[in-house]
């Protein structure tokens, strides 16, 4: 853990160093302004500062850092020569300790602070994991339906403001129900994982990709229309066609997919994501009706 210390008295700083864990990285700073780069980078977790001699009071540092609303709050321990009754420590500081202090007292305060910081970090990590689970499909790693809709709505608005074209691709695995019924759900899940990997590898890193439902995937291509959207889709179909899924006691499965593209050369004020998705799905159904393993493009 990086611990920031604002203490200009060498003796006081040495006492703080002695009380800190050997695992801690102690960084001595001269002013509160030097703390901000650590706050903005997310490296700051714990600050020990001399309330009497530092500039924390004059710069309104504590209210400002609390207002910053970082993902993990900065724990602030103030040292002061004043009595607790004087109430000089501002609201917003997590703890204060009066000087002169015993080494063991400071160690106890620091140990409590480190436990609180560690708990806050674990809670933030758990929150991030829950948010990720809420937005992404566990099997394929793509955005789930709700997350894709939110993301693609934002992309549509950017395309509208920038007068960019936009294409939406719907992809569906051919004969997926037959694969599931014949070989079981585990093989069906493996097919979904392999197809998702092929889609990711053959798409641009910044493309918006989601699992829409079951074995159907959707991709939003900002700034791409018509033949260029077809080229992207052909690359994905070829990538999926090149995959082989081993099945015990059976010949390897060669998976194929059908694709529909809805391309809009101009995003008007009335253009919405939901109709684009439905139009791409209709185009995909046309591709399946024509025999599958192919693309159907429509302009909207």
Question: Which among 9, 95, 215, 228 is annotated as catalytic?
Answer: 215
User: Residue 260 in 3-state DSSP?
Assistant: strand
Give yes or no for a contact between 295 and 205, defined as CB atoms under 8 angstroms apart: no
Q: What's the rounded Cα separation, in Å, for the pair 77 and 11?
A: 18
Q: Report the distance separating Cα 169 and Cα 38, nearest Å.
A: 43
Q: Is 181:289 a contact under the CB 8 Å cutoff?
A: no
CB contact at 8 A, 9 and 53: yes
Q: Smallest Cα–Cα separation from 99: which of 83, 78, 81?
A: 81
Widest Cα–Cα separation across the chain: 85
Q: How many residues does the chain have?
A: 300
Active site residue 87: no
Q: Residue 220, SS3?
A: strand
- C-alpha dihedral sign at 189, 151, 122, 17: positive
- Residues carrying an active site annotation: 215
């Amino acid at each position: 853990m990086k611990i920031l210390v604002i203490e200009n008295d060498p003796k006081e700083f040495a006492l703080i160093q002695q009380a800190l864990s050997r695992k801690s990285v102690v960084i001595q700073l001269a002013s509160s302004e030097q703390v901000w780069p650590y706050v903005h980078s997310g490296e700051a977790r714990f600050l020990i500062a001399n309330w009497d001699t530092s500039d924390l009071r004059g710069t309104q540092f504590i209210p400002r850092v609390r207002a910053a609303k970082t993902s993990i709050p900065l724990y602030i321990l103030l040292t002061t020569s004043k009595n607790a009754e004087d109430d000089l420590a501002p609201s917003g500081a997590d703890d204060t300790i009066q000087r002169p202090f015993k080494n063991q007292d400071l160690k106890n305060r620091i140990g409590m602070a480190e436990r609180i910081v560690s708990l806050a970090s674990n809670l933030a990590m758990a929150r991030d994991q829950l948010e990720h689970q809420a937005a992404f499909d566990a099997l394929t790693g793509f955005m789930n339906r709700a997350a894709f809709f939110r993301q693609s709505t934002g992309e549509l608005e950017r395309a509208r403001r920038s007068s960019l074209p936009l294409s939406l691709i719907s992809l569906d695995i051919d004969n997926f129900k037959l694969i599931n019924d014949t070989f079981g759900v585990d093989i069906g899940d493996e097919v979904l994982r392999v197809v998702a990997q092929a889609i990711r590898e053959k798409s641009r890193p910044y493309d918006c990709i989601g699992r829409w439902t079951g074995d159907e995937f959707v991709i939003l291509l900002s700034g791409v229309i018509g033949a260029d959207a077809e080229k992207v889709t052909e690359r994905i179909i070829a990538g999926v066609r090149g995959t082989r899924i081993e099945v015990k006691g059976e010949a390897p499965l060669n998976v194929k997919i059908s694709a529909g593209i809805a391309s809009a050369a101009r995003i008007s004020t009335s253009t919405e994501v939901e109709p684009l998705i439905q139009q791409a799905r209709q185009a995909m159904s046309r591709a399946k009706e024509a025999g599958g393993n192919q693309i159907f493009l429509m302009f909207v």
